[in-house]
């Protein structure tokens, strides 16, 4: 993963979020949940590292800027244990 640039966190309320997930759908869905709440610079796709399991992405949040409420219903995520069982 690339180092975090000081510009990305130069003011209070700016956050860099690194997401690691088992697959593209999970990583992008989590990123969308963040984007539904706050102004977010989203990653257009995930990245895979050769020989490593899963995918990752990095997105940037501005916690001082609430996102415009969407008309879609809220998604409720169920807790998942480390071994993947619900």
pLDDT at site 73: 45
User: Three-state SS for 40?
Assistant: strand
Residues 71, 64: Cα–Cα separation, whole Å: 21
DSSP-derived 3-state class of residue 6: helix
pLDDT of residue 47: 92
- For the chain, helix, strand, coil in percent to 5 are 20, 30, 50
Determine if the pTM surpasses 0.85: no
Contact yes or no for 32/24 (Cβ under 8 A): no
Lowest mean pLDDT among 13-22, 24-33, 55-64, 77-86: 77-86
Q: How far apart are CA 13 and CA 17, in angstroms?
A: 12
| Per-residue pLDDT, 66 | 76
Residue 80 has pLDDT above 90, yes or no: no
Q: What is the average pLDDT score of the chain?
A: 78
């Amino acid at each position: 993963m690339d180092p975090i640039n000081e510009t990305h966190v130069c003011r209070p309320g700016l956050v860099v979020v690194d997401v690691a997930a088992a697959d593209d759908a999970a990583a992008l869905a989590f990123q969308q949940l963040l984007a539904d709440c706050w102004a977010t610079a989203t990653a257009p796709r995930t990245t895979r590292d050769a020989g490593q399991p899963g995918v990752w992405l990095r997105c940037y949040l501005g916690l001082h800027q609430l996102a415009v409420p969407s008309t879609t219903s809220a998604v409720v995520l169920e807790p998942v244990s480390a071994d993947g069982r619900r």
